[in-house]
Chain A
Amino acid sequence: MPWNRRHLLTIEELSLAEIDQIHATAGAFKKILGRSVKKVPALRGKTIVNLFLEPSTRTRMAFDMAAKRLSADVISIDGSTSSTTKGETLRDTAQNIQALNADMIVIRHAASGSPQYLSGLLNIPVINAGDGAHEHPTQGLLDTFTMREHLGSLKGRKVAILGDILFSRVARSNIHALTKLGAAVTLVGPSTLVPHWFTDFGVTVSHDLKSALADADVVMLLRIQHERQSSGHFPSLGEYTSMFGLNKTRAAWLSPNAIIMHPGPINRGVEIDSDLADGDRSVILEQVTNGLAVRMAVLYLCAGGQPEHAAANAGEEKR
Chain B
Amino acid sequence: MATLLISGAQVIDPATKRNAVGDIFVREGRIVDSLSPAERKRAKKIDGEGLIASPGFVDIHVHFREPGQTHKETIGSGSRAAAAGGFTTVVCMPNTSPVADNAGTIQFIKDAVIRDAVVKVLPTGCITVGMKGQALAPIGSLKRAGVVAITDDGDCVQSNELMRRAAEYAAMFDLPIMDHCQDHSMTEGAVMNEGVMSTRLGLRGWPHAAEDLIVSRNVIVSAYTGAHIHLQHISSGYSVEIIRSAKARGVKITAEATPHHLALTEAGLSGYDTNWKMNPPLRTEADRQALIAGLRDGTLDCIGTDHAPHTNYEKDREFDYAPNGILGLETALPVVLGVLIKEGKFKLPAVIDLMTRKAARILNLEAGTLAPGAPADICLFDPHETWRYDARAGQSKSSNSPWDGQELTGRVKLTIVDGRVVFERGKIFD
Contacts and interface: CB of A to CB of B under 8 A. Distances in A.
Interface residues of B, number: 18
Contacts of A201: 199-200
Contacts, number: 59
Interface in A77-93: 89-91
B319 A117 contact: yes
A113 B203 contact: yes
B250 interface: no
A117 B320 CA distance: 12
Name the prevailing secondary structure of the A interface residues: mixed
A191 to B, nearest CB: 14
A118 to B, nearest CB: 9
B234 to A, nearest CB: 23
B202 A131 contact: yes
A109 interface: yes
B316 interface: yes
A112 interface: yes
A315 B313 CA distance: 48
A134 B199 contact: no
Interface string B315-345: 0111111000000000000000000000000
Given A89-B317, A111-B319, A134 B202 contact: yes
B268 to A, nearest CB: 14
Interface stretch (A39-47, A146-154, A192-200, A305-313): A192-200
B272 A109 contact: no
A112 B190 CA distance: 12
A135 interface: yes
Interface residues on A, range: 20 to 34
Given A112-B272, A113-B272, A116-B271, A90 B201 contact: no
Interface in A160-204: 166, 169, 172, 195, 197-198, 200-201
A139 interface: no
A90 B272 contact: no
Nearest to B188: A231
B138 interface: no
30 contacts: A12-B200, A89-B317, A90-B317, A90-B318, A91-B316, A91-B317, A110-B320, A111-B318, A111-B320, A111-B321, A112-B272, A112-B319, A113-B201, A113-B203, A113-B272, A113-B320, A114-B318, A117-B318, A117-B319, A132-B203, A166-B199, A172-B200, A197-B196, A197-B199, A198-B199, A200-B196, A200-B199, A200-B200, A201-B199, A201-B200
Given A110-B320, A113-B320, A114-B318, 5 more contacts: A90-B317, A112-B319, A113-B319, A116-B272, A134-B201
